[in-house]
Structure 1
Amino acid sequence: MTFSDGRRAFISAKRRVSTGRPFVETVAGWVAQSATLEADDLLVLAGEDFTGPAKDLDRVLRRLAAGLAIETQAEQDAFELLYARIPAAARERVLKQGAGEGR
């Protein structure tokens, strides 16, 4: 999706998001396109039902984008779920875009 100001959002919509295949495939897609992301691009994972550590991804990414520390074990678990699936070479860009820091 391209916004009128030129920013792009890469949206992956899933019915259920947990630690399984849909989540893993979405993150793999983000990693694959990370080299083509521009500063204001957003990576979005939209879902109807987030379970397990995935349910805290939004909160932890928003906290990190705001420069706040991870506060709870649930946030740490959510962060580790994402962090572990991103190769070191792509981590900074994927985490920045997923947290919406480019805006």
Structure 2
Amino acid sequence: MKEDRFTERLKEELHKLDEQIEIEKPSEQAVMMMLKQAKEKEKRRFKQEMLAYVLISLTILALFAAAITHLPIIFILLQVVSVPLCVVIGIKEYQHIKGGSSL
């Protein structure tokens, strides 16, 4: 019985509190702008991932070509280019993971 009164009073007070708080609904333009920004961010991310995929694929193909043709200069050039590239991509990926994603 005592809990019922407490529960009812609590509900009344929460209802009063809800009435006092004004909730702003975002405008349609604001929502569309946020969606557009998120879409552009995803598009940039997709382009970066595709670039990384192409570079890795070309690296593997070049390595394969160097192994088949037995040209050590190709292998050395490949190492000179790919190692710094992998470091840069790794750092960017770490920053992306550490920073989190908004979506």
Scaled to the shorter chain, the TM-score interval is under 0.3
For the pair shown, the structure with the greater C-alpha radius of gyration is 2
Counting strand residues as a fraction of each chain, which structure ranks higher?
Answer: 1
TM-score by length of 2: 0.25
TM-score by length of 1: 0.25
1 or 2 for the larger relative contact order (CA 8 Å, sep ≥6)? 1
Counting helix residues as a fraction of each chain, which structure ranks higher?
Answer: 2
